[in-house]
Amino acid sequence: MAEVILKSVGKLYPGGVRAVHDVDLHVRHGEFVVLVGPSGCGKSTTLRMVAGLEEISEGTISIGGRVVNDIAPSDRDIAMVFQNYALYPHMTVGQNMAFGLERRRRHGSVVRSLLSPSYAAERRSEGARIQARVDEAAGLLGLQPLLHRMPRELSGGQRQRVAVGRAIVRDPAVFLFDEPLSNLDAKLRGEMRTELRVLHRRLGATMMYVTHDQEEAMGLADRIVVMKDGLVQQVGAPTELYDQPVNRFVAGFIGTPTMNFVDGTVERDGGGVALRWAGGRIPLPHCTALATTRAAIGIRPDTLVPTADGAFRGTVQSIEFLGDRADALIESHGVRLNARVPTNIARSLREGESIALGMPAVAHVFDGDGFRAV
Amino acid sequence: MKWLRPWFQSALLAVGSIVFLFPLWWMVVVSLETPKRAGAAMTGQGGIALWPTDPQWGNYSEALAEMGSVPWVGFINALANSIVVTTLVVIGTVLSSSLVGFAFARLRWRGRGVLFTLMLATMMLPGQVTLIPLFLLFRGLGWIDTILPLAVPAFFGNAFFIFMYRQFILQIPESLVEAAKVDGHGWLGIWWTVILPLCRPVTAICAVFTFIGTWNDFMGPLVYLHAEEQSTLAVALNSFRNQYGGLDDVHLLMAASLVTMLPCILLFIAAQRQFVEGLARGAVKG
């Protein structure tokens, strides 16, 4: 079982900089887990600790039931795909893919091959097995016509595929991806994302994937780990993170366009609770337990709909048409609100015009400390 | 006036090339002259045509045969010695300098910065300063009259090339080293299978410079190798001087010198593309 278990894992750099705090994570066998967060949140450092490319300052990491803190990267039964592909420029595609296995095959065996014919035969058959593995992986990724090319002769997408192929050939317990699609253009990124998803289903392998792109995370992951300032904010399925973010950071980070926040003060009268903001008063019927004096309402842009007597009155600042829908930016009493509306509605909107948006049936309330109340 | 610029540049380069190539051409012309005309040219009693009117091709075989006291043997011995010493020094310098450069560029170890500065400081020492202490050291080790004092130090790196390798290796993405680690290589394996092949331009510079320097080295073999059968080509050329230090057969000296230079020129032409690429890369990124 290729599980990855991180227990209280921390990373402290010389000089006292703490990159990762106390991470607990259980990646189940065959699961596709994506670590996501802004730059400097510690997601790559966490992945690199799993790979063995960074020392673990605190806690333990185990892969397949074995604690790997002091085990070399090559002995952890992992394969890693790097952001810049990291293909060896002086080797052909085929050699790149076979490199890891060749290394194991060659180890101190040339002299022995000369002395012992049976060992030489064994080595030859091992070579044939490696070639078969390379051919199989190349077939899976459509790389067969490129096996004799050099990396410099390939496009970005092809290089990325070779990098993935190199990982597949090793048949590891765990695949690690460090922002593998960030160097590709948007179209190719979308295509590769689908390919990776299909590949994961086909191989059934455990995969850990790092990205700063929440859309990529939502599209790929079985579960997402959202990180900020070295701390895990929330772990959950993409829908869970979208529907029930535990705090304001996760709510703002997950979803495109980002969630709208309306800040205000909490008012209580006769057992009822409401949020007083610059544009008026919004009742919060399910928030009687709200303990802080300040709070915020989080509203997904796709739930804001123009209505005649909406709670948010303002002016249309800009409209971006995206095909079947459009993103409208509305300023209401100093608060900027993003609304994602169908194109037929957007056509009737004009920049500079007044508009009213209705309070949606579903919204999130965050207390003054940024934690989710309801 | 813009159209004048390429013409001006070409003219300037042509003049520069002539200035640099003239001594070599003069050597070719003298090497093909008769002993009388060559001698007269050396003593200022006669001029030399810019083009040999009656080329004496036999000068070349005569020069090589007369190198040393036994015909042809002296040349063959000197050639063999030069090849052995130069090959060992080139291999030693490339391997050790790239390995140390890799350690300075990629490995994190205590005292790295101090040792790197100290190593760079050794470049300030003129060779003459260390000549006598080194001679005493090698004499103490019993290495005089062997090629060991010429070859062994090369396996301990060369400060300038270590610096060049370090600068070049710093440009190689760290992820390649990490990928090789994941693929199961230790530091030595990474250096040998990934770093060294990628350092080809620097290796070309290091190999060509070291080859030329060692092939033409006069002082080292003169100090450490005393027997005639041990001498290298650069030292063997000295056999054309008479006992008073003068030159009796200047045409033969020029012919032998040209033959001696030939491997350097051929090597430079062969490695020119890598060499220029390496220098240009060093200039931009180093």
DSSP secondary structure, B131-184, as one string:
HHHHHHHHHHTT-TTSSHHHHGGGGG--HHHHHHHHHHHHTS-HHHHHHHHHTT
Residue by residue, DSSP assigns A251-274 as HHHSSSSPPEEEEEEEEEETTEEE
Residue A218 in this model has a pLDDT that exceeds 90: yes
Residue A149 in this model has a pLDDT that exceeds 90: yes
Inter-chain touch B182–A90, beta carbons under 8 Å? no
Residue B187 in this model has a pLDDT that exceeds 90: yes
Give the separation between CA A313 and CA A335, rounded to whole angstroms: 10
Give the separation between CA A134 and CA A104, rounded to whole angstroms: 15
Window from A265-269, B86-90, B151-155 with minimum mean pLDDT: A265-269
| Residue-range definition of the domain harbouring residue B93 | 76-250+260-285
From the list A74, A89, A104, the residue facing B182 with the nearest CB is: A74
Backbone angles phi, psi at A52, to 5 degrees: 95, 10
Residue B30 lies in a domain: no
Inter-chain touch B179–A52, beta carbons under 8 Å? no
Which chain A residues are Cβ-neighbours of B178 within 8 angstroms?
A: 51, 53, 73, 80, 82, 86
Any CB–CB contact under 8 A between B284 and chain A? no
Residue A236 in this model has a pLDDT that exceeds 90: yes
Residue B228 in this model has a pLDDT that exceeds 80: yes
Yes or no: say if A261 and A252 are a contact pair by the CB < 8 Å rule: yes
How far apart are the two ends of chain B, measured CA to CA in Å?
A: 36
Read off the CATH number of the domain in which B152 is found.
Answer: 1.10.3720.10
Question: What would the mean pLDDT of A36-53 be, rounded to a whole number?
Answer: 95
> Mapping DSSP to helix (H, G, I), strand (E, B) and coil, where does residue B121 land?
helix
Best of A54, A75, A83, A99 to substitute, by most chain B Cβ atoms within 10 angstroms, is A99
From the list A80, A90, A100, the residue facing B184 with the nearest CB is: A100
Q: How many helices (H) and strands (E) does chain B have?
A: 15, 0
- pLDDT tens per residue, range A162-193: 999 999 998 899 999 999 998 888 888 888 88
Q: Angle formed by the axes of helices B159-170 and B112-121, to 10°?
A: 140
Residue B29 lies in a domain: no
Inter-chain touch A53–B182, beta carbons under 8 Å? yes
Q: Which residues pair with A263 in a beta bridge?
A: A296
Residue B149 lies in a domain: yes
CA-to-CA separations, A281 to A115, A274, A359, B112, B173, in angstroms, rounded? 88, 6, 12, 65, 56
Which chain A residues are Cβ-neighbours of B182 within 8 angstroms?
A: 51-53, 73-74, 78-80, 100
CB atoms within 10 A of CB B11: 11
DSSP H or E stretch at residue A77: none
Inter-chain touch B183–A53, beta carbons under 8 Å? no
- pLDDT tens per residue, range B55-104: 888 889 988 888 877 888 889 999 999 999 999 999 999 999 999 999 99
Give the closest-approach CA distance of A329 to chain B in angstroms.
42
Inter-chain touch B183–A86, beta carbons under 8 Å? no
Interface of A with B (CB under 8 A): 51-53, 72-74, 78-80, 82-84, 86, 88-90, 99-100, 103-104
Residue B70 lies in a domain: no
Window from A64-68, A209-213, B50-54, B272-276 with minimum mean pLDDT: B272-276
Residue B281 in this model has a pLDDT that exceeds 90: no
Give the closest-approach CA distance of B193 to chain A in angstroms.
10
Q: What is the predicted pLDDT for the residue at A88?
A: 94
Question: What would the mean pLDDT of A284-296 be, rounded to a whole number?
Answer: 80
Confidence of residue A132 (pLDDT cuts 50, 70, 90): very high
Give the separation between CA A257 and CA B257, rounded to whole angstroms: 77
Q: Is the pLDDT higher at A264 or at A120?
A: A264
> Mapping DSSP to helix (H, G, I), strand (E, B) and coil, where does residue A275 land?
strand
Backbone angles phi, psi at A149, to 5 degrees: -85, 160
Which chain B residues are Cβ-neighbours of A54 within 8 angstroms?
A: none
Residue where the block lists tokens 């544009």: A279
Architecture of the domain defined by A4-243: 3-Layer(aba) Sandwich (3.40)
Give the separation between CA B198 and CA A106, rounded to whole angstroms: 21
- pLDDT tens per residue, range A86-97: 999 999 999 999
3-state SS string over B54-105? CCCCHHHHHHHHHCCCCCCHHHHHHHHHHHHHHHHHHHHHHHHHHHHHHHHH
Residue A342 in this model has a pLDDT that exceeds 90: no
For residue B244, what are its two tokens?
């008073």
From the list B181, B182, B198, the residue facing A90 with the nearest CB is: B198
Any CB–CB contact under 8 A between B173 and chain A? yes
CB atoms within 10 A of CB A197: 14
Give the closest-approach CA distance of A211 to chain B in angstroms.
17
Residue in B with minimal Cα distance to A98: B183
Q: What is the predicted pLDDT for the residue at B242?
A: 66
Number of domains in chain B: 1
Residue B110 in this model has a pLDDT that exceeds 70: yes
From the list B173, B182, B184, the residue facing A51 with the nearest CB is: B182
> Mapping DSSP to helix (H, G, I), strand (E, B) and coil, where does residue A349 land?
coil
Backbone angles phi, psi at A142, to 5 degrees: 70, 35
Inter-chain touch A79–B182, beta carbons under 8 Å? yes
Q: What is the predicted pLDDT for the residue at B50?
A: 77
**Closest C-alpha to B226, from B283, B145, B280:** B145
Domain residue extents for chain A: 4-243, 258-367
Q: Is the pLDDT higher at B49 or at A120?
A: A120
Any CB–CB contact under 8 A between B189 and chain A? yes
Residue in A with minimal Cα distance to B182: A74
Residue A207 in this model has a pLDDT that exceeds 80: yes
- pLDDT tens per residue, range B120-137: 999 998 988 999 999 999
Q: What is the predicted pLDDT for the residue at B227?
A: 87
Inter-chain touch B181–A99, beta carbons under 8 Å? no
Give the separation between CA A177 and CA A184, rounded to whole angstroms: 14
Which chain B residues are Cβ-neighbours of A134 within 8 angstroms?
A: none
Q: Which residues pair with A299 in a beta bridge?
A: A260
Residue by residue, DSSP assigns A39-71 as TTSSHHHHHHHHHTSS---EEEEEETTEE-TTS
Any CB–CB contact under 8 A between B184 and chain A? yes
Yes or no: say if A311 and A274 are a contact pair by the CB < 8 Å rule: no
3.30.429.10, 3.40.50.720, 2.40.50.100, 2.130.10.10: which CATH number matches A258-367? 2.40.50.100
Which chain A residues are Cβ-neighbours of B189 within 8 angstroms?
A: 103
Question: What would the mean pLDDT of A262-268 be, rounded to a whole number?
Answer: 88
Residue B270 lies in a domain: yes
Q: Which residues of A31-47 are buried (b: 16+ CB within 10 A; e: fewer)?
A: bbbbbbbeeebbbbbbb
Q: List, as own/partner pairs, every contact residues B179-183 make where C-beta atoms lie below 8 angstroms and the sequence separation is at least 24, other chains included.
A: B179/A80, B179/A82, B179/A86, B179/A88, B180/A88, B180/A99, B181/A52, B181/A53, B181/A72, B181/A73, B181/A74, B182/A51, B182/A52, B182/A53, B182/A73, B182/A74, B182/A78, B182/A79, B182/A80, B182/A100, B183/A74, B183/A99, B183/A100, B183/A103
Residue A160 in this model has a pLDDT that exceeds 70: yes
**Closest C-alpha to B106, from B183, B209, B184, B180:** B180
Residue in B with minimal Cα distance to A85: B175
Q: What is the predicted pLDDT for the residue at A227?
A: 96
Inter-chain touch B179–A80, beta carbons under 8 Å? yes
Best of B109, B182, B188 to substitute, by most chain A Cβ atoms within 10 angstroms, is B182
**Closest C-alpha to A103, from B230, B224, B8, B192:** B192
Yes or no: say if A35 and A46 are a contact pair by the CB < 8 Å rule: yes
Work out the mean pLDDT of chain B and round it to a whole number. 88
Q: Is the pLDDT higher at B233 or at A268?
A: B233
Confidence of residue B283 (pLDDT cuts 50, 70, 90): very low
Residue in B with minimal Cα distance to A52: B182
Inter-chain touch A100–B189, beta carbons under 8 Å? no
Residue in B with minimal Cα distance to A100: B183
User: What dihedral do alpha carbons A248, A253, A255, A259 form, nearest 10°?
Assistant: 40
Residue in B with minimal Cα distance to A163: B179
Q: Is the pLDDT higher at B36 or at B200?
A: B200
Inter-chain touch B181–A88, beta carbons under 8 Å? no
Residue A283 in this model has a pLDDT that exceeds 50: yes
Residue by residue, DSSP assigns B264-282 as HHHHHHHHHHHHHHHHHHH
Q: What is the predicted pLDDT for the residue at B286?
A: 31
Amino acid residing at A114: L
Best of A13, A68, A74 to substitute, by most chain B Cβ atoms within 10 angstroms, is A74
Supply the Cα-derived Rg of chain B in whole angstroms: 23
Q: What is the predicted pLDDT for the residue at B285?
A: 32
Residue A27 in this model has a pLDDT that exceeds 50: yes
Inter-chain touch B189–A103, beta carbons under 8 Å? yes
pTM of the model: 0.83
Which chain A residues are Cβ-neighbours of B176 within 8 angstroms?
A: 86, 88
Give the closest-approach CA distance of A152 to chain B in angstroms.
13
Give the closest-approach CA distance of A167 to chain B in angstroms.
10
Q: In what order do the strands lie in the sheet with A223-228?
A: A78-81, A174-178, A206-211, A32-36, A223-228, A231-236
- pLDDT tens per residue, range B9-53: 999 999 999 999 998 998 898 898 888 888 777 777 766 677 887
Work out the percent of chain A whose per-residue pLDDT is above 70: 98
